[in-house]
C-alpha cells in the first residue's frame, strides 16, 4: 500500500469521525461535557485530516498544478478555522496571545493564497471558475477580518465565543464539502455530475452563512445601550 493510498483511507475514516462529532458537538448543550468532549474529538480528527491531506495535495499538484494549488488553499483556510476555534477557547482570557505570531502568519497565508486562487479563477482555469472565485473570498475577507481584529483588543468580553463560532462554521463548511464530494457520490451514485459538483461546493457556503446569522442572534445578541439620564422618562 502506497503512502498516497494510506493517506486516502485515513482521510476517509477521519472525515467520517469529523462529520459525526461535528453534529454531536453542534446539537449538544453548549458548555456541557458532551459538547466539550465531542468538540475536542472533532478538532483532533480535523487535525489528522489536514496532516493526511498533505501527501494527497502534493500528489495532486504533481499531476494537476491548478487542482493541487486549490487543494493547498483549502488546507490553509481549514487549518486557520481549526486553529482559531481551538485557540479561542484556550486563550479566551488573553487576546494578545491569541493574536500572536501563529495568528498573524495564518492571516498572511489566507490573504496571499486567497488572492492567488482568485487570479487563477479569473484568468487561468476554464473549469470551476465560479467555485474558485467564490472560495477565494473566504481567504481574502478572512484575512481582512483577522487584521482588523488584531489591531486593538476588543471591548466586548464575548470575543472568544464570537471567534469560536465563526471558526466552527468554517470547519463545518470544510467537513460537509468533503462529505458531499467523497461520501455522498458513493451513497447516491445517481447524483454524480455537474449538479453534485455545484451542490457540494456552494451549498455549504450558503448554509453556513445562514447558520452564522442564526447563531450570532442566539448566542451573541446585541446588547442594549444603557439609557442616559437625558433619555429617561420622568413621571
For residue 15, name the pLDDT band (cuts at 50, 70, 90). confident
Tell me the C-alpha distance between 167 and 192, whole Å.
Answer: 30
Share of the chain above pLDDT 90, in %: 46
**Mean pLDDT for the chain overall:** 83
pLDDT at 204: 73
Backbone angles phi, psi at 97, to 5 degrees: -70, -40
- The angle at the Cα of 194, spanning 188 to 196, to the nearest 5 degrees, equals 35
Tell me the C-alpha distance between 115 and 35, whole Å.
Answer: 36
Nearest one of 109, 101, 46 to 72, comparing CA atoms: 109
Nearest one of 21, 128, 7 to 75, comparing CA atoms: 7
pLDDT tens-digit readout, 94-144:
999 999 999 999 999 999 999 999 999 999 988 778 889 988 999 999 999
pLDDT at 185 over 70: no
pLDDT at 227: 42
Segment among 12-26, 59-73, 168-182 with least mean pLDDT: 168-182
Cell 463548511, located at residue: 173
pLDDT at 88: 96
Query: What residue segments make up the domains of the chain, in order of their start?
Result: 3-219
Burial environment of residue 33 by CB neighbours within 10 A (0 to 12, 13 to 18, 19 or more): exposed
Amino acid at each position: 500500500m502506497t503512502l498516497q493510498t494510506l493517506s486516502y483511507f485515513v482521510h476517509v475514516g477521519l472525515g467520517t469521525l469529523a462529520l459525526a462529532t461535528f453534529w454531536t458537538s453542534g446539537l449538544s448543550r453548549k458548555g456541557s461535557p458532551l459538547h466539550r468532549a465531542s468538540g475536542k474529538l472533532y478538532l483532533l480528527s480535523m487535525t489528522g485530516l489536514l496532516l493526511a491531506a498533505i501527501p494527497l495535495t502534493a500528489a495532486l499538484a504533481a499531476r494537476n498544478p491548478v487542482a493541487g494549488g486549490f487543494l493547498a488553499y483549502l488546507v490553509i483556510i481549514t487549518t486557520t478555522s481549526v486553529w482559531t476555534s481551538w485557540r479561542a477557547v484556550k486563550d479566551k482570557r488573553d487576546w494578545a496571545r491569541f493574536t500572536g505570531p501563529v495568528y498573524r502568519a495564518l492571516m498572511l497565508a489566507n490573504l496571499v493564497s486567497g488572492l492567488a486562487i482568485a487570479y487563477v479563477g479569473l484568468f487561468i482555469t476554464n473549469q470551476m471558475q465560479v467555485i474558485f472565485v467564490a472560495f477565494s473570498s473566504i481567504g481574502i475577507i478572512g484575512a481582512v477580518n483577522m487584521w482588523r481584529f488584531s489591531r486593538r483588543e476588543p471591548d466586548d468580553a464575548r470575543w472568544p465565543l464570537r471567534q469560536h463560532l465563526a471558526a466552527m462554521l468554517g470547519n463545518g463548511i470544510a467537513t460537509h464539502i468533503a462529505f458531499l464530494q467523497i461520501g455522498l457520490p458513493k451513497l447516491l451514485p445517481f447524483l454524480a455530475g455537474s449538479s453534485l459538483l455545484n451542490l457540494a461546493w456552494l451549498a455549504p457556503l450558503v448554509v453556513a452563512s445562514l447558520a452564522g446569522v442564526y447563531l450570532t442572534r442566539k448566542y451573541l445578541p446585541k446588547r442594549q445601550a444603557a439609557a442616559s439620564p437625558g433619555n429617561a422618562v420622568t413621571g
